[in-house]
């Protein structure tokens, strides 16, 4: 970690030979039959020297209630996809969403933020956070879907797909024919094995409203909470449980919080804040088992070092896995990052089958690699890009600038709110500027190129500006990185240079 002064000195000597390479999509599935005519959707392909157009035009030849477009999964991405279908006049009577949950799509990040506020501090509840309110859009309640003529099938997950005959079967035995299928099944929370107590009463995982409701009903009775995992979920749940005045301990194997993103020095600032709020942190610890009493309720968390941390409520936040279950034999999965492999237009290797959101392994153009992103901004962006590519002549590949954020301690009466946003890639050398009072920024530089930027406690206007500045910066030509960083710092009123 360098000081701001040494940063300024070294930035001025950044090699003029550096170059910012525009990413090239590494992988593009061959879709030889994309120009064939499916039963309900006609794909027409026109070739020119520089581009290929895949245009989908709807037809109404379905025997099965005109279900031309089916989205499997009723989460974040599905909500934004539905909005895009409506914007193109292609929802009414043509679109069906099949969901495992009992609710219309909602902004999932709320579940570990406003949803977990103590009951006397105005917690968020549905219908308040249906998509697309998270991006300032319309609140799409169940009535919205009815008005738009979108068929919603709730609490009836898809169990199998027959890609050859373009049909899906749901848990209740419904058979749905589709012309084009968008898989938006997201992820499922990783669980501890049953044999080490992963299913004990009082052990919670959090992925959907039902999980959050179950957690809230337990919080009202709990005294000692142990949270396993120091990532997003762990940090957000811990911030909530101390607001409920519960004895809270976070246990994680790494040396600091949010190790996938934060530098040790940045993490230290957040750790101090958590500790000031009464959260105990146990770092570098591995879990041996979850212990229970004669009534089957969890009583504690046993560590590999032999010690046991008492708990009557345990929340596990150890990551998530792409929910590919019904599709794993039908489409190509990515063996490195998991999920359904798609190209820059979200097409899988099976004609007419697309994947978006957390479950999609897509080419990250900017960094020339295939990745999966489990963040809401990508769920929104991939949904919009996929549906536009499906319904219009749009052929340009998705060009995503990774963006993550978190907001905690935002309940009424909190002495310090936390809201950070990150853009780009956290690779290379990190430079930290600011003192967390309340702002702090971290810049990541690799081979003389700016790769990522994180800002804590920007104003809403500053945060609005950040993606634009970051995108410009990350694509900037050689030698301009220093000026770009200074420009960002000026814009967020952190420097007088
Ligand atoms: C608690 C929590 C907090 C989060 N906080 C943040 C945050 O602060 N910032 C951020 O950027 N991101 C956050 N995320 C991540 C973000 O919510 C996800 O990236 C986003 O929801 C992904 O959208 P999706 O539509 O791909 O998946 P989801 O929103 O998970 O939706 C998938 C839906 O598909 C359903 N489904 C699964 N299988 C089937 C099936 N076979 N048939 C029918 N339906 C099925 C699921 O039940 C679910 O309703 C958070 C996630 C969680 C769980």
Render pLDDT for 57-89 as a digit per residue (tens, 0 to 9).
Answer: 333 333 445 579 999 999 999 999 999 999 999
Give pairs for 473-477: CB < 8 Å, separation 24+.
474/20, 474/366, 474/401, 474/423, 474/424, 474/449, 474/450, 475/20, 475/22, 476/20, 476/450, 477/19, 477/20
The pLDDT-based confidence of 367 (bands split at 50, 70, 90) is confident
Q: Which of 176, 138, 112, 187 is nearest to 357 (CA)?
A: 187
Residues 65 and 184 in one domain: yes
The pLDDT-based confidence of 452 (bands split at 50, 70, 90) is confident
Burial of 366 (0-12, 13-18, 19+ CB in 10 A): buried
Verify whether ligand 1 is closer than 6 Å to residue 72 (CB atom).
Answer: yes
Atom of ligand 1 nearest to the CA of 325: 41
| Full residue range of the structural domain in which residue 299 is found | 191-318
Last residue of a domain, one of 318, 341, 360: 318
Q: According to the model, what pLDDT value does residue 415 have?
A: 87
Residues 69 and 152 in one domain: yes
- Note whether 203 and 229 are within 8 A (CB): no
Residues 66 and 168 in one domain: yes
Residues 79 and 97 in one domain: yes
Q: Whose CA is nearest to atom 47 of ligand 1?
A: 100
Residues 327 and 307 in one domain: no
**Looking at the domain assignment, is residue 407 inside a domain?**
no
Residues 49 and 136 in one domain: yes
Q: Whose CA is nearest to atom 4 of ligand 1?
A: 109
Q: Whose CA is nearest to atom 19 of ligand 1?
A: 375
Burial of 483 (0-12, 13-18, 19+ CB in 10 A): middle
Residues 437 and 470 in one domain: yes
The percent of the chain in helix, strand and coil, each rounded to the nearest 5, is: 25, 25, 45
The pLDDT-based confidence of 368 (bands split at 50, 70, 90) is confident
Return mean pLDDT, the chain: 85
**Looking at the domain assignment, is residue 254 inside a domain?**
yes
Residues 171 and 253 in one domain: no
Residues 49 and 184 in one domain: yes
**Looking at the domain assignment, is residue 370 inside a domain?**
yes
| Span from the CA of 232 to the centroid of ligand 1 (angstroms) | 14
Distance in angstroms between the alpha carbons of the first and the last residue of the chain: 20
Q: Is the pLDDT of residue 278 over 50?
A: yes
Residues 237 and 346 in one domain: no
The pLDDT-based confidence of 160 (bands split at 50, 70, 90) is very high
Q: Is the pLDDT of residue 221 over 90?
A: yes
Atom of ligand 1 nearest to the CA of 407: 8
Verify whether ligand 1 is closer than 6 Å to residue 186 (CB atom).
Answer: yes
Residues 63 and 132 in one domain: yes
**Looking at the domain assignment, is residue 66 inside a domain?**
yes
**Looking at the domain assignment, is residue 62 inside a domain?**
yes
User: What is the mean pLDDT of the segment spanning 253-268?
Assistant: 96
Cross-strand partners of 298? 292
**Looking at the domain assignment, is residue 409 inside a domain?**
no
pLDDT in tens, 383-431: 999 999 999 988 899 999 999 999 999 998 888 999 999 998 898 899 9
Q: According to the model, what pLDDT value does residue 66 have?
A: 55
What CATH number is given to the structural domain containing 445? Answer: 3.30.390.30
User: What is the mean pLDDT of the segment spanning 231-239?
Assistant: 97
The pLDDT-based confidence of 474 (bands split at 50, 70, 90) is low
Verify whether ligand 1 is closer than 6 Å to residue 372 (CB atom).
Answer: no
What CATH number is given to the structural domain containing 255? Answer: 3.50.50.60
Mutate which of 327, 376, 383, 463 for ligand 1? The one with the most ligand atoms within 8 Å of its CB, which is 376
Atom of ligand 1 nearest to the CA of 405: 9
Q: Is the pLDDT of residue 11 over 90?
A: no
- What pTM does this model have? 0.86
Q: Is the pLDDT of residue 45 over 70?
A: no
User: What is the mean pLDDT of the segment spanning 153-170?
Assistant: 96
């Amino acid at each position: 970690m360098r000081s701001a002064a040494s940063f300024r000195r070294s930035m001025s000597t950044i090699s003029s030979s550096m170059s910012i390479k525009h990413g090239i999509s590494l992988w593009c599935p061959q879709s030889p039959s994309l120009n064939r005519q499916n039963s309900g959707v006609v794909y027409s392909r026109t070739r020119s020297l520089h581009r290929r157009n895949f245009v989908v035009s709807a037809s109404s030849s379905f025997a099965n209630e005109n279900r031309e477009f089916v989205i499997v999964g009723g989460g974040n991405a599905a909500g934004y996809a539905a909005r895009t279908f409506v914007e193109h006049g292609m929802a009414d009577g043509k679109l069906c969403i099949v969901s495992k949950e009992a609710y219309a799509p909602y902004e999932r990040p709320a579940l570990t933020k406003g949803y977990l506020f103590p009951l006397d501090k105005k917690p968020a509840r549905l219908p308040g956070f249906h998509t697309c309110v998270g991006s300032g859009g319309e609140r799409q309640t169940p009535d919205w879907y009815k008005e738009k003529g979108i068929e919603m099938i709730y609490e009836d997950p898809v169990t199998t797909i027959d890609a050859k005959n373009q049909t899906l079967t749901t848990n209740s035995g419904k058979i749905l024919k589709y012309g084009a299928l968008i898989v938006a099944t997201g992820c499922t929370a990783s669980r501890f094995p049953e044999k080490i107590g992963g299913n004990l009463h009082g052990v919670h995982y959090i992925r959907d409203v039902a999980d959050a409701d179950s957690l809230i009903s337990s919080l009202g009775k709990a005294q000692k909470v142990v949270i396993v995992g120091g990532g997003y979920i762990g940090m957000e749940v811990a911030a909530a449980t101390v607001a409920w005045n519960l004895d809270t301990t976070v246990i994680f194997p790494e040396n600091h919080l949010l190790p996938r993103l934060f530098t040790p020095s940045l993490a230290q600032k957040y750790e101090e804040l958590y500790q000031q709020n009464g959260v105990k942190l146990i770092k570098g610890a591995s879990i041996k088992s979850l212990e229970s009493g004669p009534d089957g309720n969890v009583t504690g968390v046993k560590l590999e070092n032999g010690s046991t941390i008492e708990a009557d409520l345990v929340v596990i936040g150890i990551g998530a896995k792409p929910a590919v279950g019904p599709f794993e034999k039908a489409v190509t999965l990515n063996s490195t990052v998991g999920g359904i492999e798609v190209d820059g237009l979200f097409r899988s290797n099976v004609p007419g089958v697309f994947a978006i959101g957390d479950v999609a392994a897509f080419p990250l153009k900017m960094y020339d690699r295939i990745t999966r992103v489990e963040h809401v901004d990508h769920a929104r962006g991939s949904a919009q890009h996929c549906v536009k590519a499906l319904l219009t002549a749009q052929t340009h590949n998705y060009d995503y600038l990774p963006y993550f954020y978190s907001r905690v301690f935002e309940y009424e009466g909190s002495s310090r709110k936390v809201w950070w946003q990150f853009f780009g890639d956290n690779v290379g050398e990190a430079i930290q500027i600011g003192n967390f009072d309340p702002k702090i920024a971290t810049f990541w530089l690799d081979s003389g190129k700016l790769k990522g930027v994180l800002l804590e406690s920007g104003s809403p206007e500053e945060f609005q500006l950040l993606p634009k500045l970051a995108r410009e910066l990350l694509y900037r030509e050689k030698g301009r990185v220093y000026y770009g960083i200074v420009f960002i710092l000026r814009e967020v009123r952190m420097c007088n240079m």
